[in-house]
């Protein structure tokens, strides 16, 4: 990684990756409301690999489109230093090809290792990777060693704290710049409590920034973000549903 491209993942309020939500308009709105960093919705490796790059002069955007005109990913200069491209993948080679296509127009690449949806699991992506530590290591190491921008990943926790700590230490060893933790297991849903104590233990165990996620159920205003931050001891906080419901959550006056 080029040292000039290092970004600080500490002390940040971040828009989480959300399918069908984290598109360009939402990301720009979140930045306008005070978000420090924004993640795009998860993009599957095959889609970005098959997409063509197109300078959209009408909109002032950079588009990656499929042959039928479907826009896989759209970005613009205004978010270039703030947007993290989240990749859905189960293969190191495809991951690198995908990341190289967007390397010059995003600030970092994140690997989704937490999505519990059937589509991701059947494809060996998302939370399926939590049970394949060697695959995790291969994908992340390949990206870290071959990209000029930071690499991060977002995971869910394992049922056992000990197993979770072993996994995050392995992830840290690959050279990633930060790790986001949704503190629920693959089988748990929003109605289940977020395991904030897991995030706290992870934060105490790692040297890299830890981004706390999963607290939207208790976050209704800006001040609640600060409480979640304190409860988890994390470096930064990432919001999904709370921001989807009210994007001004990033604003002190929101």
Structure tokens at 175: 């050279």
Mean pLDDT of 78-84: 98
User: In residues, how long is the chain?
Assistant: 254
Tokens of 223: 């001040």
**pLDDT, average across residues 97-105:** 98
Statement: residue 1 has pLDDT above 70: no
Mean pLDDT of 67-72: 96
d(CA 138, CA 1): 17
The answer, yes or no, to whether residue 55 has pLDDT greater than 70, is yes
Tokens (6 digits) for 86: 């989240």
Q: How is the beta sheet containing 61-65 ordered, strand by strand?
A: 52-56, 61-65, 71-75
Boundaries of every domain in the chain: 3-250
Is a pLDDT exceeding 90 seen at residue 2?
no
DSSP category for residue 18: -
User: How high is the pLDDT of residue 128?
Assistant: 96
- Residue with the two structure tokens 């489109």: 65
Mean pLDDT of the residues in the chain: 96
φ, ψ at 26 (rounded to 5°):
-65, -40
The stretch 74-96 carries a mean pLDDT of: 98
pLDDT higher at 252 or 180: 180
Cα–Cα distances in angstroms (integers) from residue 48 to residues 20, 99, 121, 209, 237, in the given order: 16, 9, 19, 28, 28
Residue 197's pLDDT is what? 97
For 66-131, list the strands marked E by DSSP: 71-75, 83-88, 108-113
The whole-number pLDDT of residue 83 equals: 99
Kindly state which CATH superfamily the domain 3-250 is placed in: Aldolase class I (3.20.20.70)
**Active-site amino acid positions:** 115
pLDDT of residue 254: 67
Q: Kindly state the percentage of the chain with pLDDT values over 90.
A: 90
Q: Distance between CA 92 and CA 219 in Å, rounded?
A: 36
pLDDT of 76 above 90: yes
CB of 218 within 8 A of CB of 185?
no
| Range of lowest pLDDT (2-11, 180-189, 205-214, 235-244) | 2-11
Predicted confidence at residue 4, as pLDDT, reads 56
Q: List pLDDT tens digits, range 190-233.
A: 888 999 999 999 999 999 999 999 998 899 999 999 999 999 99
Contacts of 4 by beta carbon, 8 Å cutoff, 6+ apart: none
Which secondary structure element, helix H or strand E, spans residue 196, and what is its range? helix 196-205
| pLDDT category of residue 118 using cuts at 50, 70 and 90 | confident
Tell which residue, 91, 165, 95, has the closest CA to residue 135.
91
CA dihedral 229, 230, 233, 239 (to 10 degrees): -10
């Amino acid at each position: 990684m080029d040292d000039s491209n290092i970004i600080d993942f500490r002390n940040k309020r971040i828009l989480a990756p959300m399918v069908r939500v984290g598109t360009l308009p939402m990301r720009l709105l979140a930045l306008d409301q005070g978000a420090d960093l924004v993640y795009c919705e998860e993009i599957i490796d095959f889609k970005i690999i098959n997409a063509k790059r197109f300078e959209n002069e009408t909109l002032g955007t950079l588009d990656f489109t499929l042959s039928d005109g479907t826009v896989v990913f759209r970005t613009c200069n205004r978010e270039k230093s703030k947007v993290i491209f989240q990749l859905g993948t189960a293969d190191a080679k495809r991951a690198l090809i995908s990341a190289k296509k967007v390397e010059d127009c995003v600030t970092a690449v994140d690997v989704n290792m937490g999505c519990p949806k059937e589509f991701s699991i059947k494809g060996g992506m998302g939370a399926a990777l939590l049970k394949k530590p060697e695959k995790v290591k291969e994908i992340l190491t390949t990206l870290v060693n071959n990209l000029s921008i930071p690499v991060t990943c977002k995971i869910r926790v394992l049922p056992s704290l000990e197993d979770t700590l072993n996994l995050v230490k392995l992830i840290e060893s690959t050279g990633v710049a930060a790790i986001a933790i949704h503190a629920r297991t693959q089988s748990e849903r929003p109605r289940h409590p977020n395991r904030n104590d897991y995030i706290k233990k992870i934060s105490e165990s790692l040297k890299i920034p830890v981004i706390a996620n999963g607290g939207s159920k208790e976050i209704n205003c800006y001040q609640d973000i600060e409480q979640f931050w304190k409860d988890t001891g994390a470096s930064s906080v990432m919001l999904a549903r709370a921001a989807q419901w009210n994007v001004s959550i990033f604003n002190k006056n929101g």
